[in-house]
Amino acid sequence: MELSTILQPECTTCATPGSKKKVLELISDLAAVQYPSLSSQEIFESLLAREKMGSTGIGNGIAIPHGRLANISQPVAVLIKCEEPIPFDSIDKQPVDILFALLVPADQCEQHLSTLSAMAEKLNDKLILKQLRKTQDESELYQVITQ
C-alpha cells in the first residue's frame, strides 16, 4: 500500500503538544477531519485503549500509536513531528519526537499489522529519520515520509 493513500497532507503536522495525552488528542483531532462521522473523542478513546495495553513508543524517539475503529472503511494515518520531545513511556525510556499514528477498520487486522510493520521499518531507517527531524514545515515532512 502506498503511504500517500492513507496519509493526507492535512494529517501531517509539526507541533509542540507537551504531553502524551495532548499528542493523542492532536492525533484524534487531525484524524477526525478525515472521518467527519467519527468524533475526535471516539478516536482518542481507541488510541488510549491501545496505550493502556502497553506503550507504542518503539524507541529512538519514535512512537506508532494505533487503534481500530468499527465505523471507518479505510485506514487513516497521522504524522506528527514534535518540536520538543515528549515523555511517552517508550521501551527505551527516551522521549518521543516522531509519531506515526494509524487508525484502521476493526475488520482489517492483517492490513493493520503489515502497515504498522512497514512504517516501523521505514522509521528505523536512520537516513529517513534524520531527514524527518530536519524538516522545517508540514509540507517538507509529508514529502520526506511519502517519497
Pairing label, strands 96-105, 66-69: parallel
Phi, psi of 36, rounded to the nearest 5 degrees:
-60, -20
Q: Does the annotation count 66 as an active-site position?
A: yes
Burial of 19 (0-12, 13-18, 19+ CB in 10 A): exposed
Grouping H, G, I as helix, E, B as strand and the rest as coil, residue 13 is: strand
In the set 7, 32, 43, 66, the catalytic residue is 66
Q: For every residue of 83-121, which 3-state class applies, written as one string?
A: EEEECCCCCCCCCEEEEEEEEEECCCHHHHHHHHHHHHH
Question: Which cell numbers in the block locate residue 133?
Answer: 527531524
* Catalytic (active-site) positions: 66
